[in-house]
Structure 1
Amino acid sequence: MHSPLKPSQAVPPNFSQTEFRTALGMFATGVTIVTALSPEGQPIGLTANSFNSVSLAPPLVLWSLARSAGSMAAFSTGSHYAINILSADQQDLAKQFAARGDDRFAGVQFTPGAGGAPLLHGAAATFECFNRSRYEEGDHVIFVGEVERCAARAGASPLLFHGGRFYAEHPL
């Protein structure tokens, strides 16, 4: 039996970035706010839906951040960050942390977690992560965090994102 040779690189895409983004939007995700402290000790955070589990032993999770993000230096050099999974009633918070130029923490209640990373009040779940490793891929950096502490709020429904819109959980 003859096995075909593996190509040395991918074929160039036959779709636009807009088409790619639209197709990716068909994958429903939860919504998170990733938080940390800047080198000056100020809370920083951003809305992200690029969150996933990696390993149970050790407990690892991942998320990704655009290389062009203003908070890249702080997340790359800090020892800890927190991933806050938003509950269904936190849509306004998701929008607040996605906005550019505003004080994202204005009016936000939080408790300092590991390394001072803010744990947002009302989150469905929180993961306090040691900033274990980073991988540069394309226009993003993939962060892998080793979870030192986690908590889930009993009965909380998650905020969901699909096709460019927010949804609340509705069991089938």
Structure 2
Amino acid sequence: MTHPDVAPKEPHAGIDPALYRETLGHYPTGVAVVTGIADDGLPAGMVVGSFTSVSLDPPLVAFLPTRDSGSFARLRTGATFCINVLAADQESTCRRFASRAVDKFEGVAWSPAPGGAPILDGAVSWIECTYEDVLDGGDHYIVLGRIRDLAVARPSLPLLFFQGGYGRFAPPSLVAPSHPDLIHAVRLAELARGDIEQLSAEHEVDCAVLAKVGGDVVFVLTANRSEKPTTPSVGHRVPLVPPLGSVFLRDAPEEDVNDWLARAPGQDDATREVFRRNVDRVRERGYSVSLMPDPSVDRISLMTDYSSTERTPQHERRMKQMIADTALLYEPDLEPDRTYHLHSIVVPVPVPPEMPQIAMRMSGLPTDASLAQLDAWVDALSRAANTAAARLCR
């Protein structure tokens, strides 16, 4: 309610698009794929973050595609459409339907709803509708659908979109943080968003901001540009156990290093010596580097299980075992006359001690990289980290 003594302000003539996206991006939205059978008999689909319920009597829902959407133009030629609410583990499906692929259904399993529109395998729920109306909504349409059938297919956590990244609704995630450092780290990461996105675009790689939160490393910001994204969703966690996280010990006291070493999966002196050497190399080089692990291991699924509120001791053991199995891939000897298939490069962001420790990560790198190419990536990543640090410390 407006205070009686204060006249309401006139609306601005124009709204800054970047400010609009940033402000609205602080409201988490569900992610759905709208599917249908076009008039050529082929399936069509598009990702929407604007799906909403409208009315119970009559049963109406809505979504808001852009006016120039070619995918919606194809969907509109069909008699029905189906809202598929994606599950938290269906980010790859989301990215498939958000891409410009000619056949978005290639490799995607589905079955027909009663009216024929595709129901995607693995979706949390589906709602098939006929077109009730298509209304003007500025640079979008407001598509009203009358529900004709619906069901919960897989009771599971839904996929969420929040501040430019995908995640799930769970206490360890960004939507319901369980540690005060996480909120601070997210705010710091947002200030570094431009640096990360520019770095990702210039080098066509995946980039992320990582934060040390308690005994975990958390992905708090991501930007994906590689052909097959290699960065986990925002909110994913990994345990801070050797050989992981040595970059956060670059300026740490010996006590912190010993605490980290005590979490090593193997407690023998030889293993500890390898991990201590890793810390020394990170301190000398100024960055952490790892080689490509076994591609048959689904690392992101393991991280998803570990990050879940439904995490079990078995999930934690599997995650730590995966980390242990890659121990020899971290901080390798680097020789000028060899090439390397790199998994990731991580540099610390030099922030004051009172701030949460954060780092910038680059992955999705081209194969067979020379030492000179590695040095160029490290230089670019370090410049971005220093630029971000200057902004964060203002």
State the TM-score, normalized to the length of structure 2.
Answer: 0.40
Which residues of structure 1 form unaligned runs of 5+?
Answer: 1-8
Give the strand-richer structure, 1 or 2.
Answer: 1
Q: Distance in 1 between matches of 2:154 and 2:119?
A: 16
Give the helix-richer structure, 1 or 2.
Answer: 2
What is the 5 A alignment of 1:1-172? 11-13=12-14, 15-170=15-170
1:28 Cα offset (Å): 0.3
CA contact (8 A) 1:64 1:141 kept: yes
Change (3 A) 1:98 1:52: same
1:154 Cα offset (Å): 5.0
Instruction: Give the alignment's Cα RMSD to 1 decimal.
Output: 2.0
Residue 115 of structure 2: SS of its match in structure 1? Answer: helix
CA contact (8 A) 2:45 2:75 kept: no
Q: Distance in 2 between matches of 1:154 and 1:86?
A: 10
Which residues of structure 2 form unaligned runs of 5+?
Answer: 1-9, 177-394
Q: How many residues align?
A: 165
State the TM-score, normalized to the length of structure 1.
Answer: 0.88
Of stretches 67-76 and 88-97 in structure 1, the one that deviates more from structure 2 is: 67-76
Q: Distance in 1 between matches of 2:140 and 2:71?
A: 13
Change (3 A) 1:101 1:153: closer
1:71 Cα offset (Å): 2.4
Q: Distance in 2 between matches of 1:66 and 1:72?
A: 8
Which consecutive aligned stretches of 4+ in structure 1 deviate over 4 angstroms post-superposition?
none
CA contact (8 A) 2:52 2:63 kept: yes
| 1:25-66 deviation line (CA, Å, top 9, x unaligned) | 111011000001111010000111100000011111000111
Change (3 A) 1:75 1:155: closer
Residue 132 of structure 2: SS of its match in structure 1? Answer: strand
Q: Distance in 2 between matches of 1:29 and 1:41?
A: 31
Structure number with the bigger relative contact order (C-alpha 8 A, sep ≥ 6) is: 1
- Which structure's CA Rg is the greater one? 2
Structure 1 vs Structure 2: percent identity of aligned residues? 38
The residue identity in structure 1 corresponding to 2:13 is: P
The residue identity in structure 2 corresponding to 1:109 is: A
Q: Distance in 1 between matches of 2:159 and 2:12?
A: 36
Q: Distance in 2 between matches of 1:154 and 1:41?
A: 28
Q: Distance in 2 between matches of 1:30 and 1:10?
A: 29
